[in-house]
Amino acid sequence: MHPGELAARNPEKPAYIIAETGQAITFKQLDDVSMQASQLFRKLGLKRGDHVAFMLENHLALLQIALGAQRAGLYFTAISYRLQEEEVDYIVTNCQARFFITSRAQQAVAEKMNLQNCEKAFMLDGVIAGFESFEAALVEMPAEKIADESTGISMLYSSGTT
């Protein structure tokens, strides 16, 4: 069932809770922010089949961003925050991500990255040189479906072991 359907039925019910902090996102918040994210991706020129990558810890925004990318018909790659900058750079370059999104908690890796092939680098919870605020960009977007909503898909990178 799509989160939009769940939001219509139970808007204030928690969609997920971060166990370590107790922070929660309701189905309505998940639906609204994912629509804002898809609006932002379109406004900034991403089209179906383009790629975004994100490296986040257990962050409230992770699923909102992933669902926003999915709603926009994008490929999206979640990158482990435990990787080193060379590994993250490789994935971002290899998947041809046009946008990279991370959080201030990942500053130690983010500030060493070579994101020359990315058009935009966003950061949550603050910014450092070379990154724009994802929250500031998102707040300007309407919580409405984009006109050409379609299903995107995740692109998984593994360690290569089985």
pLDDT of residue 6: 85
pLDDT of residue 138: 97
Whether residue 159 is contained in a domain is answered as no
DSSP lists the bridge partners of residue 52 as 76, 99
Task: Identify the CA nearest to 52 among candidates 85, 15, 79, 13.
Answer: 79
> Within 10 Å of residue 155's Cβ, how many Cβ atoms?
17
Q: Cα(138)–Cα(134) distance, rounded to whole angstroms?
A: 6
Whether residue 54 is contained in a domain is answered as yes
* pLDDT surpasses 80 at 127: yes
* pLDDT surpasses 90 at 158: no
Contacts of 69 (CB under 8 A, 6+ apart): 37, 38, 41, 52, 75, 76, 152
In this prediction, residues 65-86 reach a mean pLDDT of 96
Whether residue 119 is contained in a domain is answered as yes
Task: Identify the CA nearest to 54 among candidates 108, 9, 106, 12.
Answer: 106
Whether residue 162 is contained in a domain is answered as no
* pLDDT surpasses 70 at 91: yes
Number of domains in the chain: 1
Q: Give pLDDT tens digits for 3-62.
A: 788 888 999 999 999 999 999 999 999 999 999 999 999 999 999 999 999 999 999 999
**Average model confidence (pLDDT) for the chain?**
94
In this prediction, residues 110-126 reach a mean pLDDT of 94
Domain holding 150, by residue range, is 3-154
Higher model confidence: residue 6 or residue 79? Answer: 79
**CATH number for the domain that contains residue 101:** 3.40.50.980
